[in-house]
Amino acid sequence: MEEVVIRKATIDDIPAIVQACLTSASQEETKGFGAPEWGTYSVPGELKKVRTTGNKLNDGSEVVVAEKNSEVVGFIVFSLERDCAYIDDIDITKSEQRKGIGRNLVAYVEKVAKANGRRRIKTDTTENVEGVPWKSYAFWTKMGFKDTGERLPTKWSFKTIPFVKKLEWLIDQVF
Domain boundaries along the sequence of the chain: 4-174
Which helix H or strand E contains 22, and what residues bound it?
helix 14-22
Overall residue count recorded for the chain in this entry: 175
For the chain, give the mean pLDDT.
Answer: 87
pLDDT band of 52, cuts 50, 70, 90: very low
The pLDDT, as a whole number, for residue 122 is: 98
Distances (CA, A) of 75 to 99, 103, 111: 14, 11, 16
Per-residue pLDDT at 61 exceeds 50: yes
- Region 128-144 average pLDDT: 96
More confident: 21 or 48: 21
For 63-83, b/e burial (b = at least 16 CB within 10 A) is: bbbbbbeeebbbbbbbbbeee
Are 16 and 9 in contact by the 8 Å Cβ rule? The answer is no
Per-residue pLDDT at 111 exceeds 60: yes
- In the chain, the percentage of residues whose pLDDT exceeds 70 is 83
Alpha carbon distance 6, 115 (integer Å): 17
Q: The domain at 4-174 falls in which architecture?
A: 3-Layer(aba) Sandwich (3.40)
State pTM to two decimals: 0.86
